[in-house]
Chain A
């Protein structure tokens, strides 16, 4: 099986993939709080300023803090799934632990 092409510029898509789902089940206020906590700016349609692995990790930490552990586990799965689809790889051995 061939490896997916690697990309390095699509970290924001990981966050927007989660937001597409989360916007259906959380209030705008809750998601705004996640955005504030993560330090990311989120705009229309889930566009956001995540530009690195660390940004995505901070976003997931914010999800855990604001929305709870179930949301965190689910968000991590969404992000990991999207990352694999995009061919994105985490630096080192960490994988949004």
Chain B
């Protein structure tokens, strides 16, 4: 499936970068996104290595390779980061946004060069794009990584939520946008309870985004929430216990 523009207005675009063959991408279906602004692209969680060919092909239908100016990494997982060595080959000067917590871990992805890393402090950061549009890099620590950020695109009113909202949708039932929220909940439930660290962290994040105008929530796995499903999603998050508040695993 090819790219889909979630938002496009006045040279500012928020784009979902397509899907690939699940077997070829090693069984982890993941979403990658790009924010295009002023002819430049910022990739959001550019993906593991096995998705690189597809993401590169779809991104370069939108901008020239040298216009890919940055990559935001919500956290340190390989399905988020592992393609970075090839992206740095495409654009060695690209900025790489990542929690300062993971700065020393990035070279372990076999990076032969030192990237232009923007080590995000725990409190987050705001990034101005060429058009003047702003991105807020929102702390979401513990959701699921201890050093974890999400991106709120103020102009597009889109929240890129990383693994928050991730869903393991059975083959054949996936759709780009959530079709039936109630039916979608079981696909999210197990992941959120096991992978999110704590209910306290989750509730704190919900407070942080309360009042933000959000039209779309775009997770790294699963389907996109839009319209009324955005509120349903946040409401659902407000009801669940996660991580070791929910249960412990492996204890005798």
Q: Considering only CB atoms and an 8 Å cut-off, how many residues of chain B contact the other chain?
A: 18
Per-residue A-contact encoding for B108-132, CB less than 8 Å = 1, 0 else: 0011110000000000000000000
The residue in chain B whose Cβ has the minimal distance to the Cβ of A77 is: B49
Contact B112 A78 (CB under 8 A): no
Interface residues of A in 8-24 (CB under 8 A from B): 17, 21, 24
**Chain A contacts of B86 at CB under 8 A?**
21, 74, 77-78
Per-residue B-contact encoding for A55-70, CB less than 8 Å = 1, 0 else: 0000000000000111
- CB contact between B89 and one of A74, A81, A85 (< 8 Å): that residue: A74
Contact B90 A25 (CB under 8 A): yes
Known contacts A21-B53, A81-B49, A85-B24: A71-B60 contact under CB 8 Å: no
Q: Bound complex: CA of A5 vs CA of B111, how far in Å?
A: 32
Q: Bound complex: CA of A81 vs CA of B88, how far in Å?
A: 18
The residue in chain B whose Cβ has the minimal distance to the Cβ of A20 is: B53
Q: Bound complex: CA of A71 vs CA of B110, how far in Å?
A: 12
Known contacts A81-B50, A85-B24: A69-B85 contact under CB 8 Å: no
- CB contact between A70 and one of B52, B56, B85 (< 8 Å): that residue: B85
- Summed over the interface, the residue pairs from A and B with CB atoms below 8 Å come to a total of 41
Interface residues of A in 40-97 (CB under 8 A from B): 68-74, 77-78, 81, 85
Known contacts A21-B53, A24-B65: A70-B88 contact under CB 8 Å: yes
Interface of B is mostly: helix
Interface check B92, CB cutoff 8 A: yes
Interface residues of B in 39-68 (CB under 8 A from A): 49-50, 52-53, 56, 60, 65
Q: Bound complex: CA of A74 vs CA of B49, how far in Å?
A: 9
Contact B113 A21 (CB under 8 A): no
The residue in chain A whose Cβ has the minimal distance to the Cβ of B110 is: A73
CB distance from A28 to the nearest CB of B (A): 15
**Chain A contacts of B111 at CB under 8 A?**
70, 73
The residue in chain B whose Cβ has the minimal distance to the Cβ of A26 is: B89
Known contacts A24-B60, A24-B65, A85-B24: A73-B53 contact under CB 8 Å: no
Known contacts A70-B92, A70-B112, A70-B113: A77-B85 contact under CB 8 Å: yes
Contact A71 B89 (CB under 8 A): yes
Give the B-binding residues of A (Cβ under 8 A): 17, 21, 24-25, 68-74, 77-78, 81, 85
**When A and B form their complex, which 9 residue pairs have the shortest distance between CB atoms, in order from nearest?**
A69-B112, A74-B86, A74-B89, A70-B112, A70-B89, A25-B65, A77-B49, A73-B85, A70-B113
Given contacts A73-B85, A77-B52, A81-B50, 6 further A-B contacts (CB under 8 A): A21-B86, A24-B60, A25-B90, A73-B112, A74-B89, A81-B49
